[in-house]
Amino acid sequence: MPELPEVEVLRRDLLIRLPKPSRIRRLLFLSPKLRTPLKLPKSMHDKPLVVTGIQRRSKFLIFTLDQGVLVSHLGMSGCWRAETVRSEIKHDHVIIEWENGDLWVYNDPRRFGVFEFHPDLSKVKWFSQLGLEPFSDEFLAKPVIDKIRGSDRAIKSIIMDAKVMVGVGNIYASEALFKAGINPLKTGKQVSSERIQRLLICIRETLSKAIEGGGSSIRDYAHASGEKGNFQNEHLVYGRSGEKCTHCGSKIQAKKIQGRSTFWCRKCQS
């Protein structure tokens, strides 16, 4: 599943490609088979749609309109591609046809994605219980540290909990914990405030570097151009079970935590 860096890279890519003026000629729904039904209110069918910006909240893209917002989540395997000539590809679900003739196409083989219209951003159900953004001013504050320290759950599970913080998926949780030197199996209560503070900084640094590297292309993720990300080549522990740790030479360990594969170095992470 694309995580925060991949969605942020895609947002920036699409923002650069946003036509001027950014008027949608047609919004085509080729298939209703995503996580939620694809539809616009009847009152908007004959009205021009003008996109005024593209934002990100957690792993969601938000296309801002004069009349509301279009909310997109890539699910497990979704991607947006930009093209000037329609290339019909299996599992295309949504087409944004711009007035200048450009096309943005949403493709999703596994159909776990979301594409919805909402008249009011504050009432989008997906956002009602989301935690802090890792790049927000509040992210390094004491309440976040105290929340983590008060939990009996494995610390990797805590930082992947979208109610605590958003956008930290399986890849970047393993990478940040390695950089912070924290064993992912330890509970929040077993980690000192100082080490949690260090972990939060490492989360920010890891996500920032992943964005700079164009995100991680493990399976389906690609930029709007179809180009792959490069950050998977810089992973220190994720997907490297049995390989040598780049710091100490020990073998990278792997174990499932709540059904997700977790990677760490037994020597470097205590």
The catalytically annotated residue of 6, 11, 59, 147 is: 59
Which contacts qualify for 58-62: CB closer than 8 Å, 24 or more apart? 58/4, 58/127, 58/130, 58/133, 58/162, 58/166, 58/167, 59/1, 59/2, 59/3, 59/4, 59/7, 59/166, 59/167, 59/169, 60/7, 60/114, 60/126, 60/127, 61/7, 61/10, 61/11, 61/14, 62/121
Task: Give strand ranges (E) for 58-175.
Answer: 60-65, 69-73, 79-83, 92-98, 103-107, 114-118
59 is annotated as an active-site residue: yes
Neighbours of 92 (CB within 10 A): 17
Contacts of 144 (CB under 8 A, 6+ apart): 132, 138, 164, 165, 200
Tokens representing residue 29 in the block: 């729904």
- Number of other residues whose CB lies within 10 A of the CB of residue 196: 22
Report the distance separating Cα 150 and Cα 163, nearest Å. 15
Q: Could you say which of 3, 6, 8, 175 is catalytic?
A: 3
Taking the C-alpha atoms of residue 106 and residue 192, their distance in angstroms, rounded to an integer, is 44
Per the annotation, the verdict on 3 as an active-site residue is yes
53 neighbors 14 (Cβ within 8 angstroms): no
User: Among this protein's residues, is 42 annotated catalytic?
Assistant: no
The one-letter amino acid at 114? V
Phi then psi for 149, rounded to 5 degrees? -65, -20
Q: So which residues are the catalytic ones?
A: 2-3, 59, 260
